[in-house]
């Protein structure tokens, strides 16, 4: 497409073509909420492999694990909410098919992103002390405070390592062509931290609008990402499906149940689901979802 110098619009395929094997990719959203699923599906269709995935995980982690794309996974949880354990992830953990797994306390996960966003090697915090996080991840160190308490004691903290990202993938409601982006739902889900922790950020949105239009849907200022943080913008209506992207649409619970049943079923069950919904491009996926919705009505 023709672009002006500050026009950052890209296609899904252009984003994925810019990625490389072995990258560390942070995926924004929160479990089954506002995940950049169109971009995740494009990675599934690609030859990318050996990835490090950093995520408050949902089906993004499950799908990439099932496809064998993940070499290292850094996560605080992986859940579909109404389906407590993401089936593909559950199977991967049970059978050890992800070569390296780093499970962090949610606060540690956030602190790791914050350290990376501030270009620090680590940040200290109390969460994790006395827990199995340090037992299972002995490479995570502790650090003594350089400042003694009034009674002379010296406190010890977990030195949470920075979660540096090569690329962040996030999905928001609206953006302009320059990369300024806003969320309209109830929560930013730390997507700004993912963007600040990354060398490059690719943003998918429900709709690209004129810059002035970023404030028309809500009286409250909800600009989350500045264009300075964004490398590329992809307009992907329904691109977070089947996770929710409120107020544009809720989570597709019927589809999620079908996904979970196939993922937790036999290899034949999953092959049938994959053939129907994941064998083509994003347009084919959306068409298959529309047919599924009509069948369920």
User: Quick one: pLDDT band at residue 218, thresholds 50, 70, 90?
Assistant: low
Helix, strand, or coil here: 207? strand
Would you say residue 292 lies in a domain? no
pLDDT in tens, 116-151: 999 999 999 999 999 999 999 999 999 999 999 999
The owner of tokens 């600009």 is: 223
> Of the candidates 250, 269, 284, which is a domain's last residue?
250
Judge contact between 133 and 140, C-beta under 8 A. Answer: yes
- Domain range for residue 190? 12-104+163-250
Answer yes or no: is 119 within a domain: no
Please say if the pLDDT value at position 73 is more than 70: yes
CATH code at position 38: 3.40.1080.10
Neighbours of 218 (CB within 10 A): 14
pLDDT, residue 5, reads 60
∠ CA 167-77-51, rounded to 5°: 35
Predicted pLDDT at 3: 57
> Cα–Cα distance between 110 and 185 in angstroms, integer?
20
Same domain, 132 and 239: no
- Overall domain count for the chain: 2
Task: Return the pLDDT at 159.
Answer: 98
Higher pLDDT, 60 or 213: 60
**pLDDT tens-place string over residues 171-185:** 999 999 999 999 999
Q: What is the pLDDT of residue 241?
A: 98
* Residue 150 located in a structural domain: yes
pLDDT at 4 over 70: no
Verify that 153 and 173 share a domain, yes or no: no
Pair 18, 96 in one domain: yes
Do the beta carbons of residue 132 and residue 82 sit within 8 Å?
A: no
Cα–Cα distance between 291 and 295 in angstroms, integer? 6
Same domain, 149 and 239: no
Residues 43 and 148 occupy one common structural domain: no
| Dist. CA 13–CA 281, nearest whole Å | 10
Do 132 and 20 fall within a single domain?
A: no
- Are the C-beta atoms of residues 92 and 53 closer than 8 Å to each other? no
The verdict on 177 and 51 lying in the same domain is: yes
Q: Judge whether 193 lies within some domain.
A: yes
Judge if 16 and 157 occupy the same domain.
Answer: no
- Same domain, yes or no: 131 and 145: yes
The pLDDT confidence band at residue 236, using thresholds 50, 70 and 90, is very high
* 95 and 196, same domain (yes or no): yes
| pLDDT tens digits, 17-51 | 999 999 999 999 999 999 999 999 999 999 999 99
Q: Classify residue 212: in a domain, yes or no.
A: yes
Give the global pTM.
0.95
Q: Is residue 120 part of a domain?
A: no
**Closest alpha carbon to 278 in 296, 292, 264:** 292
- pLDDT score recorded for residue 219: 55
- Domain boundary among the residues 114, 134, 161 is at 161
On whether residue 181 sits in a domain, the answer given is yes
Q: 88 with 223, same domain?
A: yes
The answer to whether residues 51 and 140 belong to one domain is no
The verdict on residue 232 lying in a domain is yes
């Amino acid at each position: 497409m023709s672009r002006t110098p500050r026009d950052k619009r890209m296609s899904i395929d252009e984003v994925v073509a810019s990625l490389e094997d072995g990258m560390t990719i942070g995926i924004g959203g929160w479990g089954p909420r506002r995940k950049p699923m169109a971009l995740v599906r494009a990675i599934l269709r690609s030859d990318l492999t050996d990835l490090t995935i950093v995520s408050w995980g949902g089906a993004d982690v499950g799908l990439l694990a099932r496809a064998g794309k993940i070499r290292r996974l850094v996560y605080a949880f992986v859940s579909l909410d109404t389906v407590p354990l993401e089936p593909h992830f559950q199977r991967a953990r049970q059978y050890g098919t992800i070569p390296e797994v780093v499970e962090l306390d949610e606060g540690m996960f956030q602190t790791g992103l914050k350290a990376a966003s501030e270009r620090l090697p680590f940040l200290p915090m109390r969460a994790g002390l006395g827990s199995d996080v340090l037992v299972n991840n002995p490479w995570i160190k502790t650090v003594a405070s350089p400042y003694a308490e009034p009674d002379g004691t010296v406190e010890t903290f977990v030195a949470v390592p920075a979660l540096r990202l090569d690329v962040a993938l996030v999905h928001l409601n609206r953006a302009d062509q320059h990369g300024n982006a806003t969320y309209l739902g109830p929560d930013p889900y730390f997507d700004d931290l993912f963007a600040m922790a990354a060398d490059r950020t690719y943003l998918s949105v429900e709709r690209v609008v004129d810059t002035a239009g970023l404030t028309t849907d809500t009286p409250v200022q909800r600009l989350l990402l500045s264009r300075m943080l964004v490398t590329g913008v992809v307009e992907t209506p329904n691109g977070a499906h089947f996770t929710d992207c409120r107020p544009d649409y809720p989570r597709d619970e019927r589809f999620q149940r079908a996904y979970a049943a196939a993922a937790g079923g036999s290899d034949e069950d999953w092959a049938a689901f994959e053939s129907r919904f994941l064998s083509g491009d994003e347009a084919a996926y959306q068409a298959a979802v529309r047919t599924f919705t009509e069948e369920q009505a």
